[in-house]
Structure 1
């Protein structure tokens, strides 16, 4: 009787361990790592391309998502919220200080955000069906910065990026992939010549750097400030449609 009792206790322990292990393994697969909004593709396909929208500092996932209905019908459109809370409905990918006249970033946060976006794309596969060979990033300001950081370091995971009023972090350059790995990456750059937040030379410097790596960006300067106007949106929309694999 004692032996039978011990046996059932042992079996019970094993069952509990199995249930616990199963729960831990699956809980990591159930939830994405960032809060987001989604627009399903208007054209139903088995594996739609993914367009990930990344907002600027102080913004949130609603900002670029306001354009979602007018983005190409083929895409699964996802707008992600930055991991840092700055205030009510105000978020960022990393902290930045402009008091010196030049943007000074928190490098640890910027690197953590780069990794978090890559992890987010991976975890998104558990909730939505999309073609992981056709992942595009579209970012404004700090979202554009993150688009550069993610795509240039992991070009096999990103098909193309649209950087609007952003810049390329010098801190990420040591991590940039070699030109052979970058040769298929598609890049769109738009920037206002009157941008008082991230000055226009940030765009031309990024353009020159990318060209030195063998990338030929689609570059669009505008007589505008730190914003997205209708012409900018129309141009990036056309670029997305043109560079999408059908």
Structure 2
């Protein structure tokens, strides 16, 4: 599994040696989705919005496929999550030593991959932002680190649901230096949340 580097959307800071913030979109979306958040993020960052490598059957892109079950939430394939995490790390490797500070921001499926990458290379990241995510498989043996993390939960999220949101939060609190925020929202990003994200990134990345 590899990323399409030609599809990456970039916003470059007008400064020397800027930090890098990497955006990872959700299921059925594309690299232009989270790129719309750029005006709401701190100035002084190079921002790269990645396109997930898989094409879904109903349009848009995916970091991993879902298996729909008659009862219970959809299941995801652990090997694809590992492969997607490796693809992101491989792309970061291709940047060489260009960036001394790197942060990740993912939504939904992208948040799952954000946690996977954080478990693989915590020493190379300055911080992570995980929004409305689910806990990916293959993280049972993940290290415990002091990596700063901002974790956002929608209290009325019908896509992730209360049980999976709690699993996501619990893992983050056990393995990362997590700041957890709950918002009265569905599966979305809201203005108050953006204010908190900007404050977190200003403190930990910029």
What is the TM-score when the length of structure 1 is the normalising length? 0.76
Alignment match, 1:10: none
SS of the residue corresponding to residue 150 of structure 1 reads helix
Give me the whole-angstrom Cα distance separating, in 2, the residues matched to 1:206 and 1:153. 17
Q: How far off is 1:120 after superposition?
A: 1.1
Is the contact between residue 33 and residue 119 of structure 1 (CA under 8 Å) also seen in structure 2? no
1:36 maps to 2:8: yes
Alignment match, 1:140: 107
Higher relative contact order (CA 8 A, sep 6+): 2
SS of the residue corresponding to residue 53 of structure 1 reads strand
Give me the whole-angstrom Cα distance separating, in 2, the residues matched to 1:196 and 1:141. 12
1:234 maps to 2:195: yes
RMSD: 2.1
Number of residue pairs matched by the alignment: 203
Q: How does 1:119-158 map to 2 (within 5 A)?
A: 119-125=90-96, 129-131=98-100, 134-158=101-125
Q: Which runs of 5+ in 2 are unaligned?
A: none
Q: How far off is 1:116 after superposition?
A: 0.1
241 and 56 in structure 1: CA distance in 2 versus 1, 3 angstrom threshold:
same
Give me the whole-angstrom Cα distance separating, in 2, the residues matched to 1:222 and 1:201. 16
Give me the whole-angstrom Cα distance separating, in 1, the residues matched to 2:84 and 2:196. 28
Q: Which runs of 5+ in 1 are unaligned?
A: 1-31
Alignment match, 1:94: 64
Give me the whole-angstrom Cα distance separating, in 1, the residues matched to 2:184 and 2:67. 26
Alignment match, 2:74: 103
Bigger-Rg structure (1/2): 1
1:45-88 residue CA offsets vs partner (Å, 9 max, x unmatched): 2x211100000010000000011133211110000000001268
1:80 maps to 2:50: yes
Structure with greater helix share of residues: 1
Give me the whole-angstrom Cα distance separating, in 2, the residues matched to 1:98 and 1:159. 35
Alignment match, 1:220: 181
SS of the residue corresponding to residue 150 of structure 2 reads strand
SS of the residue corresponding to residue 173 of structure 1 reads coil
Q: How far off is 1:209 after superposition?
A: 2.7
What is the TM-score when the length of structure 2 is the normalising length? 0.90
Give me the whole-angstrom Cα distance separating, in 2, the residues matched to 1:125 and 1:70. 28
Alignment match, 2:173: 211
Alignment match, 1:28: none
1:201 maps to 2:171: no
